[in-house]
Every structure is written in C-alpha cells, then in structure tokens.
Structure 1
Amino acid sequence: MQTAFDESERRTWAGQADAYAASFAKLCAYPVPRLLDAAEVREGARVLDVGTGTGSIAAAACERGARVAAVDAEPGMVACAAQAAPEADVRLAALPRLPFADHEFDAVVGNFVLNHVGRPRAALRELRRVTRPGGRIAVTIWAVPAAAGQALLGRAVQAAGASRPAHLPALAPEEDFPRTEQGMAALLGDAGLSDVVCDTLVWDHRTTLEEWWSGPAAGVATIGQIVTSQNPLVIAEIKDHFESLCADFTGPGGVLVLPHAALMAHGQA
C-alpha cells in the first residue's frame, strides 16, 4: 500500500536521476564501503541493493564478486544503475513490496532508502523477508538533528522565509521514529533483526558552491522541491542567503567543506 508520502516521493524524484548524479550522489556514496562490510558482502554472496539510485552500491558489490540484484522506484535511476553495474540484475520496484522470493539473499543493503518510504517498519520487514536466516541487513539514514553541512540549504530556505509547500506531506507521525542511534536500532529490532548495531558516520563532503546549488535549483529531493515551488524572487533570495552562508564552509580554492552525519544500522535476519 502506497501512502501519501510514498506518492509524493515518486513525484519528487521523477526524472531527477541526472540532476541527482550531478549534485548529491557523491555525498550519498560515502557510506558504501562501510555498508558492504557491515552486510558481509563478499565473493559469491547473493546481494540485494534496495533504492540503488545511480548504482554506487550495486557497482561496488559487483566489484567484490557478489551476485547482485538492485531495485529502485524511479525508472531514470534504474537506467543509471544498470549502466553503472552492467553485471547486476537491476529492476524497477518499490518498498514495501519487492519482486523476490522469501530468503533469496545472503545480504540486503539500503543506502538512505528509509528516508524515502512512507512505512519504514513495513519496509524493514520486507527486507527481512527476502534475506535468508542468518543473513545480514545494513541500512543508513540521515541523523537528526542534521550536521552543519547538511543543514546549510535548509538554513538558506528558512532565512528567506520560505515554507514547505502543501504538496509535500511529512511522514505520518505513527510511522516516524527517532533518528538517533537508539531509535534506529530499535526500528531494526522491531523488524525482527538480532545482534543489531547502530553507529554514527561523520564525514566532510567536499563540493563547490555551484555543484551544491545545482541540486535544489533542479528540484532534487525535498529541499529542491521546496526551493523550486517558490516564486522567482524568493528563489533568488534563497540563493543569496545560500551564498552568504557558504562563507563559513569555504576553504582554499573555493572548495565547500560540508560536515555531514548519518546513522548506519545493521543486524542479522
């Protein structure tokens, strides 16, 4: 069953694969090696990458010699992932229903996919369903409160007085959970996983002002939908505030150094 949040996410990401690849994809690829290690992905393992996006995990898992399947809910992302990981079985599919049999995989990995589903608990139960007993599941989400670099664009929106439009519903309160190590660990435990561990990953993402603005300017992700739903004068004001706020994060050569933090949780099916 698709919720209003799920339907909004489908609209938000429709046709955005190229713009995402040019802006936020490198940021989201940072946890990939850690996720694959946590899921014990090795040569010959049957691995599912859920919410593959541009295919960074699928490609890295193939490089380890795993037998990889990958899914995404956006056709453009499926096309990108199929190009990035031609050895993988890449399909169009969305949580909480996956086109795989029970216990089909040794490891299932979801990099930031739980940020984009309307029923995260049901999504995790589905990941457990397709994982063999004793197999590993590893997932990431963004931590809350957001790290300084992650909050930069939101601060610019707030400074311009722009608000979230009505066509972008928030996650239903009964489906939400604390975006903390404890909250994330409890979510996996409630889905029936054992030996759950949740760690905070902290890193500095290096980009440029132009690259970082290109994502929201194209409407990528929720922040991009908020920006592009404003009138041109407000968009210009958001950009002015963004450029001013970037001064605190700008290093030599104009490189933006943006601190980010994510939660990585993993457990055994």
Structure 2
Amino acid sequence: MTSFDTSERLMWAGRAAAYAGSFARLCGHPVPRLLDAAEVRPGVRVLDVGTGPGTVAAAACARGARVTAVDAEPTMVQLALRAAPEADVRVAALPELPFGDGQFDAVVANFVLNHVGRPKLALAELRRVVRPNGWIALTIWAAPPAPGQALLGRAIQAAGAVRPAHLPAGLAPEDDFPRDESGLTGLMHAAGLREAVCETLRWDHRADAVEWWSGPAAGVAFGGQIVQSQTPGIRAEIKRHFDLFSAEFADEAGVLTLPHAALLARARH
C-alpha cells in the first residue's frame, strides 16, 4: 500500500454511519447509469468494488444479478450486508482482490478510483477479475469540481485552515491522471482495457444545510478530516463560512441545490 492508501483506510475507519447519513445519497445518483454501462441484468455475475453502504450492490440485486461486493472498511460491509442481503459481501480492497482470473461478467466501482494510491494498478486488478469481453464501469469526481462540490473547500480555505500532516498532498506524479474524460479513458487504455468511453454527468443535488454539514463535522472524507483536525476556533470559522456560502445555493425553505459533476466511464477486458 502507498501512504495515500494508508491514509484512506484511517480516514474511513468507523465512519460508515456518518457517510450513510450525509454523502451516500449524493453518491448514489449515478448508480442506474453505472449499472447500465456495465450491462448488469438478470444472471450477470457482477462485482461491486468499494460498495460502501451497499447502494450499488442492492441496485444490482434488484436487477436480478448475481452480486459479490467488497469494501475495505468493515463498518461499510456491515451496512452493505443489510442493504443487499442477497449479495456475497466481504472485506477486501484494491489493489489485491481475493478472486480468480475472469471470475465476473462485469465489475463496477462507484467513486472508488478517487480513493486508491495507484489507479492504473487498481484498474489492472479489475481487468484481471472480469472475463474476456466483460465490462468494467466506474465513476469518479470530475476536476475542477462543480460549484456544489467546491462549497466545503471554499469554506476551509476562507477560514485559513491548515492541512493536517497525516493527510497526503495527493498521488505521486507518476500515478496521477487528469480528472477529465480524456484523462480517464487514457488511464483505462494504459491499464490494458479496450473500447474505453467516458461521459460527464451533471446534476443538482438537493440537501438541507444540516445534512450537508453533518458529514464534514463527523470527519467524513478528505474535507471532513481537515475540519476535524483544526483548533476549535478555526472549526468555528469554517462553519461560519460554510453557512455564508451555503446561502448562495439555498431556496426559501433553506434547502440547498448543489451542482455536481462526475465522470462515468466503461471499457472492456
């Protein structure tokens, strides 16, 4: 594992419930399109990598697929077992999956490639476990981020927060790639995949400010780790700016309409 991978494991440890109550609904938006891209239908053997609380696994089960799902975080696996009781759900993580070569007809990974230290190596492992001509479909967040996704980062910057030492600055240059359509398809081709195509999904996520703040306040994801590591005074400043910037997206009832953008790509073994 790289230092980035180690940091990710620590970042998500014990935070499944906080994620499920904050960002899980947002990340569930592309799921139908993701499963369509992987051609998930009745009888298909599908692997859901980085299942989180089981949103993708449950949707694949509802389509009649034969679903196996994995996540690196045990508390996520516990939630996924409840969400998708028909699935085979277990603890496992990229870049080494406990499955044989060509074991699955399709592999899906919803917002997972953002969380691995060596994305090309991770994709090569997904290629290994899918059968020849099988589909791999995945989503990642686009960069630069859409305005709704950038809200927390703006508040963190405005408050003068300092990145904690335990969070890496990012991937090693040789492992990183542009987070746009050509960058993602190029990475898939570099990992030995064929017929790679990518599109940008844009949508407005609606949430109240309390829900949207609850994830960062609980230390969920990179931004949440930054929030939690600050002094009480800086945390209060982040929250003040968060409330100030949230008003730009709020309607009369205080519900936020937050524009987001993600990349959806698929390729064949």
Name the TM-score, length of structure 2 as normaliser. 0.99
AA partner of residue 209 (structure 1): A
Cα deviations across residues 102-128 of structure 1 (Å, max 9, x unaligned)? 000000000010000011000000000
Question: Counterpart of 2:97?
Answer: 98
Please list every run of 5 or more consecutive structure 2 residues that lacks an aligned counterpart in the other structure. Answer: none
Amino acid at match of 1:99: P
Q: Report whether the alignment pairs 1:78 with 2:51.
A: no
Q: Distance in 2 between matches of 1:80 and 1:198?
A: 30
Task: Give 2:30's aligned residue.
Answer: 31
The separation in 2 between residues aligned to 1:135 and 1:101, in whole angstroms, is: 14
Match of 2:9 in 1: 10
Q: For 1:202, give the aligned amino acid.
A: R
* Pairwise CA RMSD: 0.5
**Paired residue type of 1:42:** R
Q: How far has the Cα of 1:165 moved from its partner?
A: 1.2
Rounded Cα–Cα distance in structure 1 between residues aligned with 2:162 and 2:268 = 41
Task: Determine the structure 2 residue equivalent to 1:171.
Answer: 171
| 1:46 CA drift (Å) | 0.1
Q: Match of 1:47, SS?
A: strand
Q: What is aligned with 1:124?
A: 123
Aligned to 1:196: 196
| Structure 1 residues without counterparts, runs of 5 or longer | none
Could you tell me how far 1:162 is from its partner in structure 2? Answer: 0.6
Shift of 1:173: 1.6
Aligned equivalents of 1:268, 1:187: Cα separation in 2: 13
**Distance in 2 (alpha carbons) for counterparts of 1:96 and 1:223:** 24
SS of 1:252's equivalent in the other structure is coil
Note the alpha carbon deviations across 1:21-76, whole angstroms, 9 max, x for none: 00000000011000000000000000000000000000000000000000000000
> Which residue pairs with 1:249 in the alignment?
249
Aligned sequence identity (%) = 69
- Which residue of structure 1 aligns with residue 47 of structure 2? 48
1:163 deviation in Å?
2.2
Find the aligned partners of 2:163 and 2:99 in 1 and give their Cα distance.
36
- Residue 107 (structure 1) aligns with: 106
1:192 positional shift: 1.2
How many residues are paired up? 268
The one-letter amino acid paired with 1:181 is E
Deviations 1:170-229 (A, max 9, x none): 221211100010000001111111111100000000001000000000000000000000
CA offset at residue 252 of structure 1? 3.3
> Which residue of 1 is the match for residue 259 of structure 2?
259
DSSP 3-state at the match of 1:71? strand
CA distance in 2, matches of 1:79, 1:171: 29
Moved beyond 6 Å, runs of 4+ = none
TM-score (norm 1): 0.99
Q: SS in structure 2 opposite 1:175?
A: coil
